[in-house]
Chains A and B, each alone.
Chain A
Amino acid sequence: MGFVYALIAAGLSLIFGLMEIVNFAHGEFLMVAMYVAFFAWLLARIDPLVSLPLTALALGVLGWAVYHGIIRWVLDGPMLAQIFATFGLAVLLRSGAQFAFGIDFRTVNDPLLAGRLALGPVSIGVPQLAASVTALGAFVALYLFLSRSETGVALQATAQDRQAASLMGIDTQRMFALGWVIGSACVGVAGALLAMFFYIFPDVGAPFALLAYVTVALGGFGNVPATLLAGVLVGLVEAFGGLLLTPALKYAAVFALYLGVVLWRPQGLFGRF
């Protein structure tokens, strides 16, 4: 699961690194992705794993739309406006989903992958395993894109120094939009994966979002590779927290971890600031 968190967090980190905006609606993006995957299954009987590209694409479009429609206008504004713009979006999406789809839990029944696999003393669900692997794969793909491809490098350049990048001919607006598209697409992938085995309901995004914030903060805002490590760490803490303490406290454990790290090392483990 840590890998999935890492993927979600990577999107968040990318956006933040580019323009120092924390997308408080990130969890809701995930929720939207899950619903997209769900409806693809419901209406066209396409398994979430198969419809994954579609979901990623849909979220990418959403990211683009959000950037051009909302984010672009608050980039130069006060931080308060930035925080609340995405917050408002989160509320909007969540209540919109509640309004449109009701609060019932939905699931994808008989997905393509099912059952459990025994790996030594531990038994893992096959969908979860597939999700982890795919998430890891997506993450690696993202990393390669960022570090090897020309656009990816341009993205990194913009993240590090906006002015210098634009002086070198990089269109920062396009980079920002691209950041949002890719960040959202990451969430799209994660959503499709989760849809395979997770319950789908309007509030589902919230705990994931919180975990994502913690993951990003742990790894250091803006440092995408670090979020992988942080994601794994968070996943582990969550799992062990659930085992050692009561399940209700496992999130508390993750948050305690966040507070601990952030207070001791304000930039996160590998942060840029």
Chain B
Amino acid sequence: MAAAGTLRPLLTRAVLVALLLGALAFPAVFTLPFPRHIMIMIFLYGALATAWNIIAGYCGQISLGQAVFFGIGAYTSSLLFRDLGLTPWAGMAGGVVIAVIVSQMIGYPVFRLRGHYFAIATIAVGEIVQALIVNWDAIGGARGVFVPIKRPDSFVNFQFHQSKAFYYYIALALLLLALGVTRLIERSRRGYYFRAVREDQEAAAALGVNVAREKLRALGVSAALTAMGGTFYAQYLLFIDPESVFPLSLSILICLVAVLGGVGTLWGPILGAAVLVPLQEGTRVMLGGTGKALDLLIYGALIIVISVLQPGGLMALLSRARTAGSAR
């Protein structure tokens, strides 16, 4: 018993280190842009889903409006860069600040709602924000914003045209940051409070947990990380518009990624991303234009299956397989 107790965490740690080394070495091995792009997207979606996991998985508030923060991050850094020449890194910080402020403003009234009302309210907020941005001509409206292209490649300008490798490592760093933050929270008093709020708000309140404040904190952290993802996206694609960074479909996609992988777990969101992104890109390559629907089709089916059979997602499936294996 004791041997198994010390062996398991050691093994897990070894696997994680191996994965990390593999991730770091990836661009050296795969030098073509396409595989790198896939990994970048996996990292990005993984980070976004991990961020959502904080408010939804750990704190139990199913927010369906994450795109708001994503868009804020993207627009803030891009506009500051275009109009003021401010380095996107500072713009990222700015995006984070604005996203957090907006999250608190949204959260304060909306968190008073429960269950389905809350979920729909988050959708409503997302739609309103998108509509507002579309109509805000001063920042481009529906035409979007082009991030000015600067050559040569520069870290300060957060643009790399020669190779995707830099984007790769930045995306990886973002993912690791999101994971790190989640892990930190998970093990702290805050994490316990979040989970208590998720399980039973009233019981938590009776134990001294300031439920409203915890929800706002969770949302704030989630918003910050999501906004960072938004800035990254803007710098990666060099063009953003309301349709690409604010839509409901993006909010939903982020949720689906996390749900598939396992809501409320540390590694679930990445797992989900690791499944969805290749699926998405793979079908796009295979079927050209109509491919976009097929991956979602499969995805939708997967979500239904997961919801019905194993709401814990892939992570739950894996842990069941593991305990079944070790029971032998």
Contact = CB atoms under 8 A, between A and B. Distances in A.
**A and B touching (C-beta < 8 Å)?**
yes
A20 B116 CA distance: 9
**CB-CB nearest 10 A-B residue pairs:** A88-B303, A92-B300, A91-B300, A98-B293, A95-B296, A85-B307, A252-B131, A81-B311, A255-B124, A88-B304
B290 A74 contact: no
Interface string A66-100: 00001001100111111111011111111110110
Interface string B281-313: 000000000101111110111111111110100
Interface centre among B110, B132, B308 (most CB of A within 10 A): B308
Nearest to A98: B293
A262 B113 contact: yes
B115 interface: yes
B308 A70 contact: yes
A28 B307 CA distance: 18
A249 interface: yes
A91 B311 contact: no
B252 interface: yes
Contact of A92 (B56, B116, B301): B301
Nearest to B106: A259
B181 interface: no
B307 A84 contact: yes
A74 B302 CA distance: 15
Contact of A88 (B113, B114, B292, B307): B307
Given A78-B311, A92-B301, A258-B120, A248 B134 contact: yes
A102 B136 CA distance: 32
A238 B128 CA distance: 14
Contacts of B135: 246, 248-249
A89 B297 CA distance: 9
Q: How large is the interface on B (under 10, 10 to 19, 20 to 34, 35 or more residues)?
A: 35 or more
A263 B127 contact: no
The prevalent SS among residues of A at the interface is helix
The prevalent SS among residues of B at the interface is helix
A255 B129 CA distance: 10
B290 to A, nearest CB: 6
A262 B127 contact: no
Contacts of B304: 70, 85, 88-89, 92
Interface in B240-261: 248, 252, 255-256, 259
B34 interface: no
Contacts of A91: 252, 256, 296-297, 299-300, 303
Contact of A79 (B115, B255, B256, B296): B115
B307 A81 contact: yes
A94 B252 CA distance: 14
A176 to B, nearest CB: 16
Interface stretch (A131-139, A187-195, A209-217, A229-237): A209-217
Contacts of B109: 259, 263
Interface in B58-106: 62
A258 B124 CA distance: 8
21 contacts: A22-B120, A77-B307, A83-B116, A84-B259, A87-B255, A88-B303, A90-B300, A91-B299, A95-B295, A95-B297, A96-B300, A98-B290, A202-B293, A210-B123, A210-B127, A213-B123, A221-B116, A256-B128, A259-B109, A259-B110, A259-B121
B303 A266 contact: no
